[in-house]
Structure 1
Amino acid sequence: MLRVPIAAALVGLLAAVAGTTSAQAGQPDDGSRRAHYDDYVALGDSFTSGPLIHPIRLDRPLGCVVSARNYPALLAAQLDVETYTDVSCGGARSSNLWKPQETPLGTNARQLDALSKDTDLVTLGMGGNDFGLFGSLISDCTEVRDQNPTGSPCKNKFTENGVDTKLRDAKRIRGHIARSVRAIHKRAPSAEVAVVGYVRILPPIGTCDAVPFADGDYAWGDKLERRLNKSLRLGAERNGATYINMYPASIGHDACGSGVAWVNGSKIDLLRAMSFHPFAKGMVGIAGETYRQLTGRTAPRVKPFDTGAATAGKREAKRFAELLH
């Protein structure tokens, strides 16, 4: 899902940044008792890593564009874990659990390598890049809109011999998630595994300027995301993992949600989020809902977990934006 010419920009950013550290993790203000987890590992793609949500972590491969304010960093602080490791990376596919991922700047190691017998919580936010499901959908649906603005030209493009190839692929991802969960259990036998579903990108009804799809492709695109999340749920629950359903919590917070949107629309916001990716407020929503479903309690208000890593802050993010232009 991460599709932006970032290599030259990140080189300039790295040279410009001396580095700062992320904020110290705060304590919950409601006195609630937290679930007991000590060693938390986050696996995932760009919906987990949070590209362009400043500050950007400089201890990770820069091509992964990992935010210090993504939902794993918030969840780690909410759960008050002893150790926290985030190996998510923009553009990751399920196969990158087993094989390294090459990025424009740096190689992300096999994500499964972050797990150990001491790991007691794993979140997995992945699947949308498998078979190019989201990437081609996002780019092509905007490009073909003018062919039939009131119809479903994107759905038609991906229908071959009467077969909706995108819906077919969304169903096939179930097997990838099942295999991933089994591999996680093998590497971290004592861990609770939570597969985090994708937040709503499209509204259940209506259209908006932020998402320049043809009218009929809204319902179709939402159907595909629902099918993808169903694959995540079945792959999780039938292999001993918890599924974190983000659809109910994110209703009204889709890309058409204007000031309350958790997800960006089609235009890259260089200081806030990649196109069709979560904003910082979306990360807060995902972390809070994950905490609630894991513990049964309302998430405390916290600052992100302090990894001690150097980060590029807002001032440097502006330089980053200038470099991209």
Structure 2
Amino acid sequence: MAAGPGIPPRVAGSPFRAARSARNYPHLIARVLELDLVDVTYSGATTLNLLDEPQNGTPPQIDTLDGTESLVTITIGGNDVGYVPALMAAALPRAVRRLPLVGPRIRSALDPVARDQALSLVGDALSTVGNEVRRRAPLARVVFVDYLTLLPPADTPAPPLTAEEADLGRHIADELAEITASVAAETGCEIARASRASRDHHAWSTEPWAEGAGSAVAALLNRGPAPFHPNAAGMRAVADLVVELLRPDQ
């Protein structure tokens, strides 16, 4: 969500699988605030990839901190709870669900019990992230940036998702947003609530800040945003939100 998969151009020299856009919200914030940016966003990252585990050979993101930072922004947790994977599974053709190898994975992604179990664990993981970033970057303002609203309001169609699938997505998004805000407060971090700012700009709206089911192939070729991820307008909106938080009088 922070990397900006499919929004051209890619960051020169960045790992291909990171799908890191030079127009993602960290880059836009850095330009406005005239900051030197170290962008370690990486598509598909979990809190483990941020804290402990290399991702496709790339060191944990937190290792880039050296204590000189003035600002650290963090968007994480969605992959821990299977948020976008659930939406992408729901958007697949129904026939795919009957395939021997793929079907069980899709059903697992859309299992409400499994998603609630993941949500029950993500708070502790996010707390560790907040505390550890503050420890390693003691001079920085640390801002959690939650996820743009992807789905329309309840009882509003979101094809090709069924009503039940859309409700599951809303539940995951709402719970994750509240957990993130709570963790930010508990760990002495700040919160930029992109989820609230984007309620009228969901992927099915007339002015979307995120892509709907979209085309994974187009995103892979860097010719359009990844499905259920921010578009260029969404990245600009998130950057503006963070800048406003940091400079409320401007």
Fold-level similarity (TM above 0.5): yes
TM-score, normalised on structure 1? 0.67
Preserved CA contact (<8 Å) 1:182 1:239 = yes
Q: Aligned partners of 1:66, 1:77: CA distance in 2, in Å? A: 16
SS in 1 for 2:125: helix
Aligned pair in 2 of structure 1 residues 171, 297: CA closer, same or farther (>3 Å)? farther
Aligned pair in 2 of structure 1 residues 157, 201: CA closer, same or farther (>3 Å)? closer
Preserved CA contact (<8 Å) 1:91 1:129 = yes
Partner of 1:245: 193
Return the offset for 1:94: 0.6
Q: Aligned partners of 1:51, 1:247: CA distance in 2, in Å? A: 19
Q: Aligned partners of 2:115, 2:44: CA distance in 1, in Å? A: 18
User: Which of 91, 95, 100 does residue 44 from structure 2 map onto?
Assistant: 91
TM-score, normalised on structure 2? 0.86
User: Which of 97, 110, 121 does residue 60 from structure 2 map onto?
Assistant: 110
Q: Which of the two has greater strand per residue?
A: 1
1:90-120 Cα offsets, whole Å, 9 max, x none, are 1111111222110xxxx32221121112111
User: Which of 233, 236, 241 does residue 181 from structure 2 map onto?
Assistant: 233
Return the offset for 1:156: 11
> Structure 2: which amino acid aligns with 1:53?
I
SS in 2 for 1:123: strand
Q: Does 1:193 align with 2:130?
A: no
CA RMSD of aligned residues (A): 2.3
Partner of 1:261: 208
Q: Aligned partners of 1:99, 1:293: CA distance in 2, in Å? A: 31
Which one has more relative contact order, counting CA pairs under 8 Å at least 6 apart? 1
Q: Does 1:57 align with 2:11?
A: yes
Q: Aligned partners of 2:137, 2:189: CA distance in 1, in Å? A: 12
User: Which of 131, 142, 148 does residue 182 from structure 1 map onto?
Assistant: 131
Equivalent pairs counted in the alignment come to: 234
Gaps of 5+ in 2: 98-106
Question: Sequence identity of aligned pairs in percent?
Answer: 27
User: Which of 220, 225, 239 does residue 273 from structure 1 map onto?
Assistant: 225
SS in 2 for 1:194: strand
> Structure 1: which amino acid aligns with 2:202?
D
Q: Does 1:207 align with 2:157?
A: yes
> Structure 2: which amino acid aligns with 1:138?
L
SS in 2 for 1:101: coil
